[in-house]
Amino acid sequence: MPTTKQYQPLTSGQIDALESNGCLAEDWSRVQVATDFRADRVRRVQFIGDIRLGTFNGLVPNDSGPPKLAGIYDAVLANCTIGDNGRIANIGSHIANYTIRDRVSIEGVGIMETNPGARFGNGIEVQAVNEGGGREVILLNDLSAQLAYLQCLVRWRPTMTHRLATLVKQAAESARKDTGTVGSGARISSVARIVNVEISDAANIQGASALEDGTILSCPEAATFIGPGVVAEHFILAEGATLSDGAIVRQSFVGQGCQIGKQFSAEGSLFFANCEGFHGEACSVFAGPYTVTHHKSTLLIAGLFSFYNAGSGTNQSNHMYKLGPVHEGKLERGCKTGSFSYMMWPCRVGPFSVVLGKHTRTFDTRDFPFSHIEAKSDGRCEMVPGMYLSTVGTVRDGAKWPARDRRRGPVRRDIIDFDVFSPLTVGRMLRGSEILRNLMETTDRSKQFVMIHGAEVRRVLLRTGIKYYRGGIEMYLQERLVSRIEIARRNGMNDLAKSLAIAPDAVFSEEWIDLAGQMMPQSRFDLLADRIESGEIDSIDRLQLELGRIHAAYLEDEWAWVVWAYRKHFGKEIPMMTADDVKAAAESWRDVRTKFLKLILGDANREFDELTRTGFGVNPSSNELTADFTAVRGTFEDNPFVQKIQREIEEIAQRAAAFS
């Protein structure tokens, strides 16, 4: 908060004391101090221009040793306000044009200055998703994954894009100042160069090489850390983020709870909540929440990702030496790429799919979520639709993301819907099933493969894919039905018809979209875009409020979709269901869900089979190999995840019985 502290001119006695401490001033009359100022804590300091000093008492915590005396020692300060009880020491060149709040420690810094009109990273245009431009995202302290998505990926509505850009630029312009701030309790040490960087409360900057034109958002609940060797230019770093170990970040946004380090480099990229980037490289990447790349030789380029895990050596290419780096790719939420997988953009991968191998042909599998997509040695792209619906990894992922939300501050900018099964993914299953069914009915049995948008599917797997998707669709729809009634009962609502009714303000769309973590019906999105275009949404705050309202309506909108999908798939009207209908649905759900969980257990069990044991231990006998494996991996029966699934199977039976 801006200080309201009272300052007064130095007395002649204070000037004498300061001079005897080796201090000099361009003009002592421009130096003001707090009423309880202590001159003995200010030594060998040069004051240039307008200076205001607080009081310095007690000790300041020190990360690498005993606490040190508060005060200012060996520094040149130009046009600065210094709060109470902090420590500024051993400044190589100078600190200029900064307001430094209370309890701040700045030690061993070379240059720290703000130049007139600094914008602190706000207003920087990032060439996200398309390295060739055309999808620019303007950086803003308040940037959320959804705001970035709206800026970047809705270019078919130029009026909306233009109006939004105007709002963002206005907001960015308000960040422009001639004086930077270092927030209360911030700690900065051993940094060579800090220029035009706004630093919020409790930020911790230790050993960074150079920070220029940026904002470091931070708060006591979610302190932001910048560590050794970091170079960051034209950036915004959000609360609770970590940037360390030689990371290089240029023209990029690093969102709340992100961890970027171990020599990772990012250029023109956006990382939203809880992303992790180590060792590798990102270029023109829109990394939605939970995008993770941990390994060397991994290049993410010109793509949209979220809930994504990049295997080692994963990379993509975005041009073919033709019209420049203009190709782009989209991996929808929950995808993984295997070690040394490669995709030649443009490609689009449906949600929760796994991509293996070197893909030198483009493909689009958006309608086939949970698929296995593998490049064969002859260059063909083969897909097994729906294969990962019932694998242990998918289920574990669904549970781990909410548990690993590192955002701790009072503000969580990115809206995240974590559901693995949703109108988005189940809607794709419905559409994918129709495509597979049509192909199954029209493809001659002599054909071994069918081609679907660049991906080949073995003909006999068309039926398998339909079977997988049918299981997923039925499990989801019946689960939502059962849950709806359970929740209503818990809330004292025993009127079945009322429990099953669609809320009057719910919005239905067959199509749902994923705004980088937030899922919503297409018509909600269209209305939002209309309101931006019309000017009804006239500020970024208002937009975030509207996105929050849409998020709050998620469950009721989802229910409207479930009612529609239930009719489409089962031919039954949910609002007309009787208690007997619900009982039958609950029993069916019990069977489908139990079967699904048993498939998960079967998949988990393969992690303990004979083949998996191969390679454990060093030349052990058969018995020793088993003992060695068990010592390291445990047993199937003792595995906590397996036990959790087994408990769920028991609970399902009880839940279904409650409908009898």
Partner 1 sequence: MATVEERVKAVTGQLLGIDPATIKNEDKFTIDLGAESIQSIELVAMFEEEFGIEMEEEAALAVDSIGKAVDFITKVCKDQGVDV
Sequence-separated (6 or more) residues with CB below 8 Å from residue 76: 45, 46, 48, 91, 93, 94, 95
Other beta carbons within 10 angstroms of residue 365's beta carbon come to 27
260/244 Cα distance (integer angstroms): 6
Minimum separation from the CB atom of position 596 to partner 1 (A): 9
Pairing outcome for strands 372-375 and 381-384: antiparallel
448 vs 660, which CB is nearer to partner 1? 448
- Distance of closest approach, residue 462 Cβ to partner 1, in angstroms: 9
Which of residues 361 and 463 has its CB atom nearest to partner 1 in the complex?
463
Closest separation in Å from C-beta 603 to partner 1: 8
- Give me the least distance between CB of 485 and partner 1, in Å please: 28
Nearer to partner 1, 417 or 607 (CB): 607
- At 475, the amino acid letter reads M
Of the pair 48, 601, the CB lying nearest partner 1 is at: 601
Of the pair 15, 599, the CB lying nearest partner 1 is at 599
Nearer to partner 1, 440 or 501 (CB): 440
Give the nearer residue to partner 1 in terms of CB position, either 400 or 595.
595
CB of 287 to partner 1, least distance (A): 29
Instruction: Output 263 or 464, the one with its CB closest to partner 1.
Output: 464
Residue 619, SS3 per DSSP: coil
C-beta of 560 vs 601, nearer to partner 1: 601
DSSP-assigned beta bridge partners for residue 358:
342
State the Cα–Cα distance between residues 413 and 141, nearest whole angstrom.
10
- Smallest distance, partner 1 to C-beta of residue 115, A: 59
Residue (180 or 471) nearer to partner 1, CB: 471
Residue with tokens 């996200």: 128
Structure tokens at 518: 């937030």
Contact by Cβ (8 Å): 306, 275: no
d(C-alpha 251, C-alpha 358), whole Å: 30
DSSP 311: P
Nearer to partner 1, 247 or 466 (CB): 466
Q: Give whole-number Cα distances, 343 to 44, 337, 352, 359, 375, in Å.
A: 60, 10, 16, 5, 9
Q: Nearest-CA neighbor of 109 among 135, 134, 90, 130?
A: 90
Asked whether the beta carbons of 287 and 294 are under 8 A apart, the reply is no
The least CB distance from residue 568 to partner 1, in Å, is 23
- Strand partners of residue 206: 189
Q: What is the 3-state secondary structure (H, E, C) of 539-572?
A: CHHHHHHHHHHHHHCHHHHHHHHHHHHHHHHHCC
List of long-range contacts for 392-401, beta carbons under 8 Å, 24+ apart: 392/600, 392/603, 392/604, 392/607, 392/641, 393/336, 394/334, 394/352, 394/370, 394/420, 395/420, 395/600, 395/645, 396/641, 397/307, 397/334, 397/352, 401/274, 401/290, 401/307
Residue 499 neighbours by CB under 8 Å, 6+ apart: 484, 485, 488, 489, 493
Binding site for partner 1 (CB under 8 A): 372, 374, 384, 387, 390, 445, 458, 460-461, 463-464, 467, 595, 598-599, 602, 606, 609-611
**How far apart (Å, rounded) are the C-alpha atoms in residues 545 and 559?**
22
Of residues 384 and 529, the one with the C-beta less far from partner 1: 384
User: Cα Rg for the chain, rounded, in angstroms?
Assistant: 29
**Residue 388 CB, nearest distance to partner 1 (Å)?**
11
**C-beta of 611: minimal distance to partner 1 in Å?**
5
Nearest residue (CB) to partner 1, 263 versus 594: 594
- Smallest distance from partner 1 to CB 595, Å: 7
Going from the C-alpha of 208 to that of each of 232, 233, 245, the distances in angstroms are 9, 12, 9
312 by Cβ neighbours in 10 Å (0-12 / 13-18 / 19+) ranks as: middle
Torsion of CA 149, 345, 450, 568, to 10 degrees: 0
Q: Which one, 87 or 372, has the nearer CB to partner 1?
A: 372
The three-point CA angle 50-54-58 to 5° equals 145
Q: Are strands 292-293 and 299-305 parallel, antiparallel or unpaired?
A: unpaired
CB of 230 to partner 1, least distance (A): 42
Q: Distance (Å, rounded) from C-alpha 300 to C-alpha 66?
A: 43
CB 161 → partner 1: shortest distance, Å? Answer: 42
**Measured from the CB of residue 278, what is the shortest distance to partner 1 in angstroms?**
29
Nearest distance from residue 599's CB to partner 1, in Å? 5
